[in-house]
Structure 1
């Protein structure tokens, strides 16, 4: 495999975190409403965060370590660690060379439709186990599909490779959420707290208000929430703000206005949290959206 890292093109210009780091976000009609990413990270660390879509990374060089589902996982070429929507995870380099990868971020409707098509009937939502997927041939198929999507030359070829790659991923490695996991995640008290936090992320809210709503002490409320969700209430709420802000950035709303509307104290505060979750500053990410 050729090593294009020193010449990675990007719609956003030089990466702001390290001279050799690059990140290129783009979209393709074959993957509706979904982002794709090709990147080389060295010093950047993804702090605990979550997205409302799947993350399907294919490592090209180096290795990435991440905390996910209470486990420490390491992925390298020929291996993947698929992250389910809403699940908290991190990401960082294993060595000084960092890692270079290509990532698919398909939405829940995209994956649900594909699962239904494979089953020939309505199917349960695909759910991937918390583990390293050892499947070098599949990684090769997905890597090839991602490259063709990025080139954007042949829509039919791009869609064919994409559907084939994601279908193989579902057939070989996807399952469904267990009843136990569903019960644990759907604790009524946690759901009440999540709904309260999501109702108006910019609204002032303290821990006592959240705890009173579910009839728990502040200690037990934050403990239950953190154990179930994977991060404390305030951190989950910040990530919700970031995720919603991304939608506004896609619509072309100025970064300063997005930060204000999302409830951040200032633009620098918003930028800091956005970088931790997306790897680039919001202004550069927005530029990439326009170029996609």
Structure 2
């Protein structure tokens, strides 16, 4: 069959400092047929449209929209379209060290490599969280939100599907560390900060720091920081500064980013709030 003009192969590999020693892939495929191959790290593709079929550990697997076609390190697999329209996915290729460290952070002590099932993971919640994290990483505009989503999405997958599921350590009250994190988040609202940097400030892992902060404040760190930005923006709106100026002063990416968050929090656009 000739390839219709609307169907194509288009793949974009890229990297993010928030997922070290790893590649990420945003792709759509029609004619692509992957030869048997393997990866040194994990392969975690999240199917966004169409369907992919692949051979893995002696079986023929089928991954459709919302599925995760997870492949463990060193395992030979193939890949090709399973529909006449091809398929699209967002894929992570995290290193063994990164995955093992996350599992250890979840457990609060060193654990082994968190091997995943020999087949398709069908879990709409996990796939949605991973796809959301992938989009935030690709956008590159908010490292705190992106790393929080990345950590939460992978932790959820491991807690449900790792063969030896890490027992997640309990969160102990720690008001001092939470106040230290708040101070760091408040110091310069326009400065980019990652979850790793925030956690290192208080001597915790990213996974534990995010859970501690959320449990104590009721919001993950990036959401708390955005609310602080909005609260400060209200004071600036009373001074009749322009919306564009206020967006810049409070650390939002641009006016539309500021307006979108302001309306979600207060129910009206900034210009209407101060009338």
The two structures have a TM-score, normalised by structure 2, of 0.57
Are 2:118 and 1:141 equivalent residues in the alignment?
no
The answer (yes or no) to whether the contact 2:55–2:61 under 8 Å persists in 1 is: yes
1:105 to 93, 114, 121: 93
> In the alignment, which residue of structure 2 is the partner of 1:94?
82
1:35 lines up with 2:13 in the alignment: no
Distance in structure 2 (CA, Å) of the matches to 1:34 and 1:90: 20
Q: Distance in 2 between matches of 1:19 and 1:73?
A: 23
Cα displacement (A) at 1:132 = 1.5
Question: In the aligned structure 2, how far is the partner of 1:19 from the partner of 1:172?
Answer: 35
Deviations 1:140-172, CA, capped at 9 Å, x for gaps:
111100000000000101100000001001101
Shift, 1:64, TM fit? 0.3
1: CA distance, partners of 2:53 / 2:132: 23
1:81 Cα deviation after fit: 2.0
Which runs of at least 4 in structure 1 moved beyond 4 Å after TM superposition?
none
How far, CA to CA, are the matches of 2:94 and 2:120 in structure 1?
Answer: 19
For the pair shown, which has the larger CA radius of gyration, 1 or 2? Answer: 2
- Say if 2:68 is the partner of 1:84: no
Task: Answer yes or no: is 1:124 the counterpart of 2:118.
Answer: no
Deviation sequence 1:83-139 (CA, Å, 0-9, x none): 000000000001221000000000011001101001110101110121221101111
> Of 17, 21, 42, which residue of structure 1 is paired with 2:9?
21
Aligned-CA RMSD value: 1.5
Q: Distance in 2 between matches of 1:22 and 1:34?
A: 20
Deviation at 1:61, TM superposition (A): 0.3
Aligned residues: 160
TM-score using structure 1 length: 0.53
Larger relative contact order (C-alpha < 8 A, sep ≥ 6)? Answer: 1
Match of 2:63 in 1: 75
1:79 to partner: Cα distance: 1.4
Asked whether 1:52 is paired with 2:40, we answer yes
- Pick from 122, 127, 150: which aligns with 2:138? 150
Cα distance per residue 1:215-234 (max 9 Å; x no partner):
xxxxxxxxxxxxxxxxxxxx
Name 1:220's counterpart in structure 2. none
